[in-house]
Amino acid sequence: MNGMSLLSLAYLLLDRPMQTRFASAPLFQATAVLLQERIPKTPSYYAHANGELIDMRAADSTREAQMHLFSSPHTPIPEVKLLSNGRYHVMVTNAGGGYSRWNDLAVTRWREDATRDHWGAFCYLRDLASGAFWSSAYQPTLADPDSYAAIFSEGRAEFRRRDQGIESYTEIAVSPEDDIELRRLRLTNCSRSHRLIEVTSYAEVVLAPPAADASHPAFSNLFVQTEILHPQPAILCTRRPRSSSEAAPWMLHLMVVREGLGGTREREAVQAQADSMGFAARHTSYETDRMRFIGRDRSVAHPQALDDEAPLSGSAGSVLDPIVAIRELIRLAPDETVTIDLVTGVDDSRAGALGLVEKYQDQRLADRVFDLAWTHRQVVLRQINASQADVQLYRRLANSILYANASLRAEASILGQNRRGQSGLWSHAVSGDVPLVLVQIGDSENLDLVRQLVQAHAYWRLKGLTVDLVIWNEDRAGYRQQLHDQILGLITAGAGAHVIDRPGGIFVRAVDQISGHARDDRRAWRSCRAAVRQWAGRLQRRWPRVRHHHPGRPNDAHALGQCSGQSALRNGHLCQRYGLHLERERPRVPAHTLAQRPGERYQRRSLLSARRGQRSCLVAHAATGSGNLTLCQSARLRL
């Protein structure tokens, strides 16, 4: 029996004699009060850099691009932009899809579908003269524009396209003051004739946890009620509580046509031109029933509401499949511009939702959203001590967390040998219900990789993206556990101390805590979509920085064109007020094109089947001076 066992027995049988003797020492008594101090739940912010390094980072961030431009919606996987104020979260892709969430509730319906990406909030545009229709982004109509650009800038996402002589410019931002998102649409008539354009918004209402909606959407829809606030151009939605303790959130959807920018919407003038073209009387119309809007055997790419000449039906109440849709008719003279604000948000009460409807009909308060969104983003970057390059890197990592990245899948031999399911994670106290980020580290030389992923986890959490970060410590140095202490120091020094060992938080596990089936566990973690090996220390080795575009270079002028404005993109040309990241990805074959190729239909079916029941998992390995980054799609880890 060793000494520690004897001390344990003496502690139990002799009333702690050694502890009492140690505590009687005057030197110990002078500092014993320090043992009663509690660990602060939220550690104070400290930038782990001296003044010279901070100045160097600031100088480097000024050279980095403030905007990220995608000239095509057909990327290998959707590129995402995360917008959030800490409570209301918006994800939007470069094709226009995405989701809106409020705390833990899904506001609009979304499913992971990199092939189609047709979920989210959309805006349809229809020319009454020709009957042609398209959307403000590429989704959901899939209409090929004359020119297209998706721009991810600071605190906002922007879309520009030109169709049928009409140029549309959409800005999306989340207000830091209120739990709302503002989608501002500017329409410009570039033709030489007067145009009548019908603007129709569309979004599917959920107001429930995403998992509950995904498991039984038809049952979830039964509890949603809609209300039209005519004559105000707004719709309210709520969910009937299933118990007395359940809170009932209220969703608002508002469409406001702004005057004073050259566009006209006078009822008499618009109706006179509509009468001359043979169309019936058209006022602001509403729809909350998806069946009436989409129609039988149709989809959001070509809904029945865009073929009917009649206004929307105005149905409301307890509908079987709730949506929010508002339609306005706009008249545009040549070279005239009109601005339409689409506001979607959530509040705890009906009175609060009505207050937001009244508030954002004021243009000055709506303009304030974009300024505050930019300021809020700077505060967030300062809070987590991240640079512009870090944010661009974490955004690209989020692409593969939200959508399956087939180009990064592991070898077929590893996939075939995996026999573990989601329950294989439970022995490590990880549920596997949310996307996983796994870091394997074997020495202190690769702590920078852990620091980056801890910082990325904090950024994703602030943007509403729930991810489990699992850090496996493979150091076998002995009793002192120096590497383990260094890892905990990185976590507690940042903003992740209060999320350790919590769902959606950070889990630090030693290699000796792995179960007896260590080989099966490692094979399960490596059953991923792909592996990128032989890069060490930093994530930038996997995603190198995209080259900058600066004004004055001939190739940049040829690629982006010339523009006299400071921040506007007119006629397919982007201003050079900021340096830009220009993404030129391998074109992704659209779903409708892939379906039209008989020889390739099996590819689409295999992609769709491979994504069912799976979630993203990012595995980053840094050991003995080298590392692996593996992105897997596995909550169940059955691929």
Position 462: which residue type? Answer: L
DSSP per-residue codes, 215-253? H-HHHHHTTEEEEE-TTSSEEEEEE--SSTTS---EEEE
In the prediction, which pLDDT does 355 show? Answer: 96
In the prediction, which pLDDT does 10 show? Answer: 86
In the prediction, which pLDDT does 484 show? Answer: 85
Q: What confidence tens digit (pLDDT) does each residue in 97-147 have?
A: 999 999 999 999 999 998 889 999 999 999 999 999 999 999 999 999 999
The least confident of 105-114, 418-427, 492-501, 521-530 is 521-530
In the prediction, which pLDDT does 60 show? Answer: 44
State the DSSP code for 500: B
Nearest to 615 by CA among 87, 211, 100, 208: 211
In 10 A of CB 601, how many CB atoms?
12
In 10 A of CB 413, how many CB atoms?
7
Could you tell me which residues come within 8 angstroms of residue 192 by beta carbon, excluding any fewer than 6 positions away? 334
Could you tell me which residues come within 8 angstroms of residue 412 by beta carbon, excluding any fewer than 6 positions away? none
In the prediction, which pLDDT does 338 show? Answer: 95
In the prediction, which pLDDT does 549 show? Answer: 35
Q: How confident is the model at residue 3 (pLDDT cuts 50, 70, 90)?
A: confident
The least confident of 255-269, 322-336, 339-353 is 255-269
Check: CB of residue 611 under 8 Å from CB of residue 429.
no
Give the mean pLDDT of the chain: 77
In the prediction, which pLDDT does 29 show? Answer: 80
pLDDT > 90? residue 194: yes
- pTM for this prediction: 0.76
**How many percent of the chain have pLDDT more than 90?**
44
**For residue 432, what are the CA distances in angstroms to 164, 255, 388, 502?**
48, 40, 31, 12
Q: Which residue has the higher pLDDT, 132 or 545?
A: 132
Q: What confidence tens digit (pLDDT) does each residue in 159-181 have?
A: 999 999 999 999 999 999 999 99
Check: CB of residue 90 under 8 Å from CB of residue 606.
no
Mean pLDDT within 312-317: 94
Q: What confidence tens digit (pLDDT) does each residue in 552-595 have?
A: 333 333 333 333 333 333 333 333 333 333 333 344 444 444 44
Q: What share of the chain is helix, strand, coil (3-state, %, to 5)?
A: 35, 30, 40
In the prediction, which pLDDT does 526 show? Answer: 62
CA dihedral 517, 520, 524, 529 (to 10 degrees): 160
Q: Which residue has the higher pLDDT, 513 or 94?
A: 94
Q: Which two tokens stand for residue 354?
A: 């009505």
Q: What confidence tens digit (pLDDT) does each residue in 351-390 have?
A: 999 999 999 999 999 999 999 999 999 999 988 888 888 8
The least confident of 42-56, 170-184, 268-282 is 42-56
pLDDT > 70? residue 285: yes
In the prediction, which pLDDT does 268 show? Answer: 58
Q: How confident is the model at residue 54 (pLDDT cuts 50, 70, 90)?
A: very low
Mean pLDDT within 293-300: 95
Position 314: which residue type? Answer: G
Distance CA 633, CA 356 (A): 39
Mean pLDDT within 148-153: 95
Question: Do β-strands 468-473 and 436-441 pair in parallel, antiparallel, or remain unpaired?
Answer: parallel
Helix axes 447-462, 363-384, angle to 10 degrees: 160
Q: How confident is the model at residue 532 (pLDDT cuts 50, 70, 90)?
A: very low
For the ranges 261-270, 530-539, 598-607, the maximum mean pLDDT occurs at 261-270
Mean pLDDT within 311-339: 94
The least confident of 38-42, 115-119, 295-299 is 38-42
Nearest to 84 by CA among 338, 395, 350: 395
Q: Which residue has the higher pLDDT, 377 or 409?
A: 377
In 10 A of CB 569, how many CB atoms?
21
Q: Which residue has the higher pLDDT, 269 or 143?
A: 143
In the prediction, which pLDDT does 342 show? Answer: 98
In 10 A of CB 359, how many CB atoms?
17
pLDDT > 80? residue 539: no
Q: What confidence tens digit (pLDDT) does each residue in 445-500 have?
A: 888 888 888 999 999 999 999 988 888 887 776 666 788 888 888 888 877 778 88
